[in-house]
Amino acid sequence: MSERMLAQFAEHLDQLKQTDNYRSFRKLHHQGAAIHLDGQKLVNLASNDYLGVASDEHLQAQFLATYQDYLPFGSSSSRLLTGNFAVYEMLEERMGELFLGRACLLFNSGYHANVGILPAICDGRTLVLADKLVHASIIDGMRLAAANGTKCVRYQHQNLTHLETLIQKYHDDMSIDRIVIVTESIFSMDGDATDLPALVRLKATYPKLILYIDEAHAIGVRGQQGLGCAEAFGCIDEIDLIVGAFGKAMASVGGYVICHQMIKDYLINTMRPLIFSTALPPMNVAWTAFVLDNIIGMTAERNKLQMRHEHLIMHIKSLGFECPSDSQIVPIILKDNARTMRATDELTKQGFFVLGVRPPTVPQNQSRLRVCLNSTISDDEFTQFCHAIGQLT
Ligand SMILES: *Cc1c(COP(=O)(O)O)cnc(C)c1O
């Protein structure tokens, strides 16, 4: 690359630095649920390990001790070539049973799922209506679908009245066969929960609707068995595509969709990130199945998480901060980029690792601390944390 080109990139990076939007990796050292940063031990309130599974060394030891079968750490190819191992089908069957006998298809990540499903199921006669704040992976899926002639429109965040107005506008359009509603059950930045039963009612009114719900932050955490908000609301059967990720509360890696068997077959035939990418390490898929069986019974952890969440929200609101959260993801919206970064430093000094989130991940003037609660934080740590928030400048 020429000096001139490098200078162009450098200039863009400088702009990011000037607006407090520059990103870089941190040198982290993990110890159980805690994190070491520059020699200081911090309570980790930034991880997606909501139930403490990733830091549970006992569980890992149990897995390694009981898993006698030899499974490789690499699959060597796509499942459609030589990469299909029995363990994938075992996990798909287990997921299918839990999700009321529907079909399950695994993907390499939640990102793969979202970037691949929309382009596979949408065509020039499909309309996608997506919540304004959906995850970047869904946006990329829409961009790819749009390249195939799919019309994509965003509705105001969680505004189902706006959504219905858009549905009415397009539903009788003869050039549209299907309308895919895409949203998240728990939003990754605001932590707010979606009214899934209301979406199910819309579907009952408008026959062209298909519901596509991303449960990445709800799997493990919501529902009696931790299957997500669809389970909690009793609408597993009504949601056409339930997408999720195993990398968060499930402490593994991979993505999945729960859908009709016909749609599964269709995706296997048309979904490019599934067809053209090497399948997950079989050993890791066995771990996912093991975690799944364990997580079903983690009701006490789920209840504890819920209690912490209620307590923290009350506290934050009493301090006068805005907080839209209904879940373990609790944003404290400070608005200003520099103030947000200062607040993360202040919390670090108090022994808490919390990340600041800035544009473009969130809209302009919506910078926030993004607290991710987990069920392993002790009562003392939690009390100290609430105190530390009260001291923010
Ligand atoms: C994390 C996340 C994804 C991506 O899942 P990965 O398995 O990490 O690729 C997709 N959707 C949402 C809402 C997420 O938060």
3 state SS for 124-193? CCEEEEEECCCCHHHHHHHHHHHHCCCEEEEECCCCHHHHHHHHHHHHCCCCCCEEEEEEECECCCCCCE
Task: Tell me if 183 CB under 6 Å of ligand 1.
Answer: no
Task: Tell me if 141 CB under 6 Å of ligand 1.
Answer: no
Query: How many Å apart are CA 251 and CA 220, to the nearest integer?
Result: 10
Ligand 1: distance of its center to the CA of 191 in Å? 14
Ligand 1 atom nearest to CA at 253 = 7
Nearest CA to ligand 1 atom 6: 110
Q: What number of other Cβ atoms are within 10 A of residue 216's Cβ?
A: 26
Check: CB of residue 291 under 8 Å from CB of residue 251: yes
- Using DSSP's 3-state secondary structure scheme, residue 313 falls into helix
Check: CB of residue 191 under 8 Å from CB of residue 328: yes
Query: How many Å apart are CA 333 and CA 21, to the nearest integer?
Result: 16
Ligand 1: distance of its center to the CA of 245 in Å? 6
For every one of its 393 residues, what pLDDT tens digit does the chain have, with 9 covering 90 and above?
A: 999 999 999 999 999 999 777 888 988 888 888 899 888 999 999 999 999 999 999 999 999 988 867 789 999 999 999 999 999 999 999 999 999 999 999 999 999 999 999 999 999 999 999 999 999 999 999 999 999 999 999 999 999 999 999 999 999 999 999 999 999 999 998 999 999 999 999 999 999 999 999 999 999 999 999 999 999 999 999 999 999 999 999 999 999 999 999 999 999 999 999 999 999 999 999 999 999 999 999 999 999 999 999 999 999 999 998 888 999 999 999 999 899 999 999 999 999 999 998 888 888 898 999 999 999 999 999 999 999 999 987
Task: Tell me if 120 CB under 6 Å of ligand 1.
Answer: no
Q: Which amino acid makes up residue 345?
A: D
- Residues contacting 201, CB < 8 A, separation 6+: none
Q: Provide the angle, in degrees to the nearest 10, between the axes of the packed helices 110-121 and 136-147.
A: 30
Task: Tell me if 225 CB under 6 Å of ligand 1.
Answer: no
Task: Tell me if 216 CB under 6 Å of ligand 1.
Answer: yes
**Domains of the chain (ranges plus CATH)?**
24-51+298-390 (3.90.1150.10), 62-296 (3.40.640.10)
Check: CB of residue 94 under 8 Å from CB of residue 292: yes
N- to C-terminal Cα distance for the chain?
45
Query: How many Å apart are CA 133 and CA 348, to the nearest integer?
Result: 28
Task: Tell me if 111 CB under 6 Å of ligand 1.
Answer: yes
Task: Tell me if 184 CB under 6 Å of ligand 1.
Answer: yes
Task: Tell me if 331 CB under 6 Å of ligand 1.
Answer: no
What local confidence, expressed as pLDDT, does residue 358 receive?
A: 85
Nearest CA to ligand 1 atom 10: 110
What local confidence, expressed as pLDDT, does residue 198 receive?
A: 98
Please, what is the Cα angle at 21 between 357 and 143, to 5 degrees?
Answer: 75
- Residues contacting 73, CB < 8 A, separation 6+: 281, 282, 283, 284
Q: Which amino acid makes up residue 223?
A: G
Task: Tell me if 135 CB under 6 Å of ligand 1.
Answer: yes
Query: How many Å apart are CA 56 and CA 54, to the nearest integer?
Result: 6
Query: How many Å apart are CA 218 and CA 241, to the nearest integer?
Result: 15
Task: Tell me if 137 CB under 6 Å of ligand 1.
Answer: yes
Ligand 1 atom nearest to CA at 188 = 15
Task: Tell me if 44 CB under 6 Å of ligand 1.
Answer: no
Ligand 1 atom nearest to CA at 217 = 15
Nearest CA to ligand 1 atom 14: 216
Nearest CA to ligand 1 atom 3: 110
Task: Tell me if 368 CB under 6 Å of ligand 1.
Answer: no
DSSP letter at 352 equals E
Which region holds residue 356: left if phi is over 0, alpha if psi is between -120 and 50, else beta? beta
For a mutational test of ligand 1's pocket, the pick from 132, 188, 274, i.e. the residue with the most ligand atoms closer than 8 A to its C-beta, is: 188
Ligand 1: distance of its center to the CA of 365 in Å? 24
For a mutational test of ligand 1's pocket, the pick from 106, 108, 114, i.e. the residue with the most ligand atoms closer than 8 A to its C-beta, is: 114
What local confidence, expressed as pLDDT, does residue 21 receive?
A: 77
Check: CB of residue 374 under 8 Å from CB of residue 47: yes
Task: Tell me if 110 CB under 6 Å of ligand 1.
Answer: yes
Q: What number of other Cβ atoms are within 10 A of residue 151's Cβ?
A: 19
Ligand 1: distance of its center to the CA of 136 in Å? 9
Task: Tell me if 188 CB under 6 Å of ligand 1.
Answer: yes
What local confidence, expressed as pLDDT, does residue 32 receive?
A: 81
